[in-house]
Amino acid sequence: MQNIGFIGLGIMGTPMATNLIKAGFKLTVWNRTPEKCKALTALGATAVASPRQVVAASDITIAMLADPAAAEAVCQGEDGVVAGIRAGKGYIDMSTVAPESAKAIATAVRLAGGRYLEAPVSGSKKPAEEGTLIILAAGDRGLFEQAKPALEAMGKKILFLGEVGQGAQMKLVVNLVMGGMMTMLCEGLALGGKAGLASEQILEVLDSGAVANPMFRMKGPLIAQGRFPTAFPLKHMQKDLRLALNLGGQFGQPLHTAAAANELFKAALGMGLGELDFSAVSRVCER
C-alpha cells in the first residue's frame, strides 16, 4: 500500500484524509494549525512539522487548501513541498485555485523533479465524509493512474481532463453555476415569503418540476429555517466566483448573472457571514 501525505485538514481535508486511513493507506499529515492533526493521529496518521517533511515521507502527497495564496505558499514556501520533492514522488493539489496558479505550482514541482496532478473536487462536507466527491484531475497521466486507488477512496466519479489548468477551469465553471443557482433560490424564497407563500410549498413545487435538484432539496429547508451549518463556507464561494469572473475576462466571455451573484456574496461577506455556509447569502436577499 502506498504511503500518502496529506496537507490541509479543514472542513474538506479532514474527512478526505480520514477516508484514506479507512481504506488502508499509511498517512503522514501536516496542517498550519497543528491541533487539527489530532483527529487523524488518533486514527493512526503520523503528524510532522512541515510540508517538506510530509513529502519526504510519502510516495504521493495530497493538498487541500483554502485558496491560491495558501496553495502556492505551501508548495513554494520555506520548508514547502518543493523543498522535499524528489524524482518519482507525486504531488496532487485538490484545492480550488485559478488555472494560472495550478500551472505555476505544476512548473515548480516539475522543475524540482516531481510529478504533478491538479484534482479539485466538486462536492462539500457531506460528500467528503461519504467519499462521494467528484474529482476533476488534470496533468501527469502516470501519476493519475498511480493515485487512482487513493482518489477512489475519496470520490465516486474521477475524471481526467487533460493538461494542467483544465481541472481548475472545470471547477470554476461548476461553482459559477452553483453560486448562481443558490442566489436565485434565495431570492425566490425571499420573494415568495413577502408574497405570503409558504417556503415549504415553494420548495415542494420546485422539487416536483424541471428545476428539481439535490442542492435545493438539501439547502432549501435549512434556508427556510434560517440555519446555515457550514458545509461550504460562503467566503470560499465568493472566492470561486471572483476567480470564475477573472477566467471569463481572459476569454472575453460576459458573465452577467455570475457578476450579479458575486455582488450578493460580497455583500454577505460585508455582513460578517463568510464563515457560515454559502447558503447564508439568503440573509442579503431577505433585506
Residues 6 and 54: their CA atoms lie apart, in Å, by 7
- The yes-or-no verdict on residue 3 having pLDDT over 80 is yes
Entry pTM: 0.94
pLDDT band at residue 2 using 50, 70 and 90 as cut-offs: confident
To the nearest whole number, what is the mean pLDDT of the chain?
97
Q: What is the dihedral of CA 144, 50, 40, 108, to 10 degrees?
A: -20
- The yes-or-no verdict on residue 81 having pLDDT over 80 is yes
Domains of the chain: 3-163 (3.40.50.720), 169-285 (1.10.1040.10)
Residue with the three cell numbers 457571514: 273
| DSSP, residue by residue, 164-199 | TTHHHHHHHHHHHHHHHHHHHHHHHHHHHHHTT--H
pLDDT digits (tens, 9 = 90+) for 10-49: 999 999 999 999 999 999 999 999 999 999 999 999 999 9
Q: What residues are labeled active site? A: 171
In the beta sheet, which residues pair with residue 63? 7, 93
| DSSP, residue by residue, 70-99 | HHHHHHHSTT-HHHH--TT-EEEE-S---H
